[in-house]
Amino acid sequence: MSTSHQVSAVLAQGGDIPAPHIEYGQIMPLLLVLGIAVAGVLVEAFVGRRARYYVQVPLAFLGLAGAFAWTAVLGWKDNPHHVAAEGALGVDGPTLFIQGTILLLGLVSLLLIAERGEGGSVGGHFAAQASALPGSEAEQRTAQAGVTQTEVYPLMMFAVGGMIMFPAANDLLTLFVALEVMSLPLYLLCGLARRRRLLSQEAAVKYFLLGAFSSAFFLYGAALLYGYAGSVRLSDISAQIGKDAGSETLLLAGVALLSVGLLFKLGGVPFHMWKPDVYQGAPTPITALMASGTVVAAFGGILRVYYVAFETLRWDWRPVMWGVAIITMVAGSLIAITQTDIKRLLAYSSIAHAGFLLMGVIATSPNGLSSSLFYLLAYGFASVGAFAVVTMVRDAGGEAGHLSRWAGLGKRSPVVAGVMAFFLLTFAGIPLTSGFTGKFALFKAAVEEGATPLVIVAVIASAVAAFFYVRVIVVMFFSEPDADGPVVVAGPATAVAVALGVTATVVLGVIPQPVLDLAGQATTHMFVR
């Protein structure tokens, strides 16, 4: 019986309404991240601007690290299956794995955001501009570098809080709240670039407007599903399916509209048009956070909704999801070939990978779920690493985004070019990289569930995608560098982020079995209902 029905029954009997029961230990990672976000707002209000950076950065790192440690402790418990916070949140193996992945990626992304050297893309742009100023004015503005941007830390923490709430949401209202808590800070963060300010602000406006439309679709779908099942709880919707054949149109319409909102956040075609513009215009550290954490959170939410609420309806939505996965893989791979901006190219690469990930939804099996979890971890680290390299390649105008500016980078900076080539080969799925292991696991799970034609399309799309990845490598290593070509500027925090990305990608590619086993253990009992 749902909480609202329990309250109604108590009131009908003339009794007192029971106090809500909240399992604080189960939701402590979420409370810790959101608590640090609120503390960050207070720091902005009461701490002097010169000291804010030195307070905000350690506070954010401690919050994310503490939340990850607590998540790890919960994950070590035997079969962590709890419905927490009056049934609004579900704490189980898959949720904890996804939350841990998001927190790890958030920590690595925070390294990029916190970089204050000339390689930084949020506060560092201001410092780079100040370095060209004469005398005391340069010293004054350099001292303030990044100070006016310290609001990015509480905004980032709110966004991460929404991300880890999203895959844990156990009803549609909580899912919507998590969606907005995740999205609203990102709308602001996308417009905070110091260089190419108009492009950044345009990206933020586009993201906000299209995100508002997708939220409207999501809410309308939730309303239709509530009208069908009389509840917003995912398990109640699942239990109602098949009992009322007369309302099947209401059910299918609700599923369709809800899927629009979810696929928008993932970047599935035809709801992908925001992604290239936003990835290009946003500050690159924010793009790294979105390309990793947001994708993981969105896909975690999709997995929970389709595995818990709509699993018994799979014969109705699977054909549609087949079509979405195919056009997402094909469109992402083909359009990426025409791109000349490195961030737009990576955006369309992300779209193609969203299509691969959808095969894990279509599989609706423990193997499909575990392979999706592994793929999310592998792809997330490779994405953060690739965008970290992008922040390092700079010219007089800031980041060298145009692909022609990367010509001859392998001769100027062979280590940086080699690292970027390694990440690109990971995206292509070359053996001994995490991308190959992730794709193999996904393809295997899809074949086991009878989706062999879909796997054939995915293999062809992967071959097409390999072309534009190799094209970037050819430009870097087999083209002559320009006389005024870009230079590599690597701050210490950025270098650490790249090193972590390379290490994770190598480990997950060479010895993936421990993580595959961990993902398999997380899916032993699937999602809690």
Q: How far apart are CA 181 and CA 183, in angstroms?
A: 6
| 8 Å CB contact between 32 and 63 | yes
Residues in contact with 356: Cβ distance below 8 Å, sequence separation at least 6, in sequence order: 325, 329, 375, 439, 442, 458, 461, 462
pLDDT in tens, 314-346: 888 888 999 999 999 999 999 999 888 899 999
CB of 254 closer than 8 Å to CB of 224? yes
Task: Assess whether pLDDT exceeds 70 at residue 134.
Answer: no
Who wins on pLDDT, 525 or 513? 513
Under DSSP, the state recorded for 83 is E
Question: What is the per-residue pLDDT for 17?
Answer: 59
Is 283 within 8 Å of 193 (Cβ atoms)? yes
Give the list of residues 6+ apart from residue 474 with CB closer than 8 angstroms, or none: none
Q: Is 2 left (phi over 0), alpha (psi -120 to 50) or beta?
A: beta
pLDDT on residue 90: 84
Cα-based distances in Å from 380 to 76, 81, 500: 22, 26, 12
* pLDDT per position as a tens digit, 98-110: 999 999 999 999 9
Instruction: Give the per-residue pLDDT at 528.
Output: 66
Residues 316 and 248 sit within 8 Å (Cβ to Cβ): no
pLDDT score, position 317: 87
The pLDDT score that the predictor gives to residue 209 is 92
Given the structure tokens 């299209």, which residue do they identify? 210
Burial label for 79, CB within 10 Å (0-12, 13-18, 19+), is exposed
Which residue is it, tokens 């193609």? Answer: 352
What number is the average pLDDT over the span 384-402? 86
Cβ-based neighbour number of residue 53 at 10 Å: 20
CB contact at 8 A, 376 and 450: no
Yes or no: say if 182 and 301 are a contact pair by the CB < 8 Å rule: no
Q: Are 371 and 444 in contact (CB under 8 A)?
A: yes
SS3 141: helix
> pLDDT band at residue 123, thresholds of 50, 70 and 90?
very low
pLDDT on residue 140: 41
**Among 140-144, 199-203, 239-243, 413-417, which stretch is predicted with the lowest mean pLDDT?**
140-144
- H/E segment holding residue 388: helix 366-392
Domain boundaries, the chain: 315-522
* pLDDT over threshold 60, residue 307: yes
Per-residue pLDDT at 225 = 92
Residue entry with tokens 């407007």: 209
Determine the Cα–Cα distance for residues 247 and 252; give it in Å rounded to an integer.
9
Average pLDDT, stretch 140-158? Answer: 66
Tell me the percentage of the chain whose pLDDT exceeds 90. Answer: 50
Averaged confidence pLDDT in the chain: 84
What's the pLDDT at 141?
39
Q: What angle (nearest 5°) sits at the alpha carbon of residue 353, between those of residues 478 and 413?
A: 25
pTM of the model: 0.89
Residue 272 phi, psi dihedral angles, 5° rounding: -110, -5
Task: Give the model's pLDDT for residue 360.
Answer: 87
Residue 473 tokens read as 């490598």
For the record, the structure tokens of 187 come out as: 């709308």
**Mean pLDDT of the region 342-363:** 91
Rounded mean pLDDT of 78-106?
A: 84
The lowest-confidence range among 163-167, 266-270, 459-463 is 266-270
Span 412-460, pLDDT tens digits? 889 999 999 999 999 998 888 898 999 999 999 989 888 889 999 999 9
Question: In a 3-state reduction of DSSP, which class is residue 398?
Answer: strand
Model pLDDT for residues 49-78, shown as the tens digit of each residue: 888 999 999 999 999 999 999 998 887 765
Q: What angle do CA 168, 170, 171 make, to 5 degrees?
A: 135
Contact 366, 360 (CB under 8 A): no
Q: How far apart are CA 269 and CA 368, in angstroms?
A: 21
| 480 SS3 class | coil
Return the structure tokens found at 457: 């399309």
What does the pLDDT average to over 177-196? 89
User: What token pair was written down for 169?
Assistant: 């949401």
Query: What confidence tier does 376 reach under pLDDT thresholds 50, 70, 90?
Result: very high
pLDDT at 324: 92
Q: CB–CB of 294/186 below 8 Å?
A: yes
pLDDT of residue 15 exceeding 90, the answer is no
pLDDT band of residue 270 (cuts 50, 70, 90) is confident
Instruction: Give the tokens for residue 327.
Output: 């056009």
Answer yes or no: is pLDDT of 27 > 90. no
Structure tokens of 355?
A: 């299509």
